Chains A and B, each alone.
Chain A
Amino acid sequence: MTAPQAPPIVLTTQALVAGYERDLPIIRGIDLSVMRGEFLTVLGPNGAGKSTLVKAIAGLVPVHGGAIRLDGQDITASPAHTRVRQGLAFVPQTENIFTTLSIQENLQLAAAILPKDKRQARIAALYDMFPDLSARPRRRAGQLSGGQRQMLAVARALVVKPSILILDEPSAGLSPKVVGDVFARLRAINRSGVTTVLVEQNVKAALGVAGRALVLVEGRVAHEGPAATLGDDPVVAELYLGARHSREAMAT
């Protein structure tokens, strides 16, 4: 007898309408499917609704229409804290760690939903994965550098072994070298089997690590395709991904 296989689609949204005000939706009917193990990046100009889309999926922005399914289960009406238990991990763009708590306490908070006998082992595994954090676990998280904070936020999200990891602009405010480190780590996490969705403004870096890309415009999916070719499309690049990226794509 073989073990039951997990469904190939981890996350779907169907005709999703979401926004802070019911009569002013920012997301206007998005259909999205994320396959198990894939690395999807969501791109688009400012105000396209990228962050609102992932916040709605995480349960932080009201959904006014459509449905969100995680591993086949309808989570549209679930509060944010139960979506974590169902396997959805979200790393917000800013304020994504508890700065007044220590590194260890940040990880312990996330581990609280695991069975008691598995918490310490899981935190230890995360310290192995992120050695920078293990040096001084009692250090207050607010004292960490920008890159270390992002790593702590990602580690915190991975504590629960999520079905899907969603990150909202992890490169924001980081130096190019640190962005490179963060993205290399994200690629390694994805290659370890964690389905990853990345919202990014840094188009070049995002297309460099992702397998598939979506371009949002005015709350709708305007383009979709393999990351390797989407950036080479001069029309898409010029219109939606920024002229600088367009020139770089053309040059290469």
Chain B
Amino acid sequence: MSPQILVDGLISGAMIGLGAIGVTLTYSILRFANFAHGEFISWGAYFAFAVSGLLGYLSGGLAAPIGPFSFGWSLPIAAVASVALTAGLALLVDAVLFRPLRSRRGAVIILVMASFGAALALRNLLEFIFTSRPDYYTTNLQIAMRLGGGMRATPDQLLCLGVAAVLALAVHLLLTRTAIGRSMRAVSENPQLSGIVGIDIRSVVRMVWILGAGLAAVAGIMTGLIVQIRPEMGLDLLLPLFAAAILGGIGSVPGAMIAGLIVGLAEALTVQVFGAEWRAAVAFVILVAILLLRPQGLFGRPE
């Protein structure tokens, strides 16, 4: 067995983990499984693709590679714009679709089915605008560096790992050390009591969308940088995202990140042992196993 699966697994796991943080926050605070979350990943990747392409067109120097990386300054600048645009998209979807449904106090299943509809609409709109042909942020080739122990990784891959770790830590600190983080945890535990305490639940809901969609955008950009950009990229990640969110324990940010890495490593191991065609089955097996054996997940508390 090649030790390379460790690097491959951690890199894909970091992207799954970032996406799973958004899923776990939405699930615990808005109390529904948002199946449109994968589309925020795709839209984040395409927003960055469009903005970086525009910047590269306006100033060729911005597209020139930075140091050992395959991309120029146009991509980091576009990533910031993409986070803002994807957060705006999430707020728009909430205002148009989810908020009216929440205000009617309908069953959770209605919100879940609405998220399926939103996912379909967003994915098809993306395909209509950008076509289904894969796109790339850069066509520059990178040589993987030796990491020791028979493992290799490109500078882009190592950067993605570092960014994912920093973002996960930042979100964890936001939730545990700041006033808005306390409010988010309070609403997650008891929305009615939160109102009595003086928390404006609408502002907490807005924060959840901004945070979840922003992290999804970063996950999308990383996936686009390391693999490719496709309208279905979010859909392909959806099952691993939910597997990681449930494995980590709903509401637990460190849990989502660690579980994302576990799912990524399991996928990499499966590809090497059984073949690439079994990759998609791994998340499903983990999801079923955790629901049967420990429904509260690794870091969650039993209801």
Chain A residues at the B interface, C-beta cutoff of 8 Å: 58-60, 79-81, 84-85, 90, 92, 95-101, 105, 108-110, 112-113, 156, 160
Q: Are B198 and A113 in contact (CB under 8 A)?
A: yes
Residues of A within 8 A of B192 (CB): 60, 80, 92, 95
The residue on B at minimum CB distance from A153 is B193
| A160, B179: Cβ atoms closer than 8 Å | no
Q: From B18-26, B181-189, B261-269, give the one contacting chain A.
A: B181-189
Residues in B neighbouring A109, C-beta threshold 8 A: 182-183, 186, 197-199
19 A-B residue pairings within 8 Å (CB atoms): A59-B195, A60-B192, A60-B195, A80-B192, A81-B194, A81-B195, A81-B197, A90-B196, A92-B192, A92-B196, A95-B192, A95-B193, A97-B193, A98-B189, A98-B190, A101-B185, A101-B186, A112-B182, A112-B183
Judged by DSSP, the binding face of B is helix
Lowest 3 A-B CB distances belong to which pairs?
A80-B195, A84-B198, A113-B198
Residues of A within 8 A of B200 (CB): 81
> A97 to B190, alpha carbons, bound, how many Å?
9
CB pair B185–A100 under 8 Å, yes or no, is yes
Residues of chain B with a CB closer than 8 A to A80's CB = 192, 195-196
By a CB distance below 8 angstroms, the chain B residues around A81 are 194-201
Chain B residues packing against A (C-beta within 8 Å): 179, 182-183, 185-186, 189-190, 192-201, 301
Is there contact, CB below 8 Å, between A85 and B193?
no
A108 to B185, CA, bound (A): 13
Supply 16 further A-B pairs (C-beta < 8 A) apart from A84-B196, A100-B185. Answer: A81-B195, A81-B197, A81-B198, A84-B198, A85-B198, A96-B193, A97-B193, A98-B185, A98-B186, A98-B190, A100-B189, A108-B179, A109-B197, A109-B198, A110-B198, A112-B183
* A90 to B189 alpha-carbon distance, docked (Å): 18
Query: Which residues of chain A are near B186, meaning CB under 8 Å?
Result: 98, 101, 109
Q: Do A156 and B179 touch across chains, with their CB atoms under 8 A apart?
A: no
Contacts of A101 in B (CB 8 A): 182, 185-186, 189
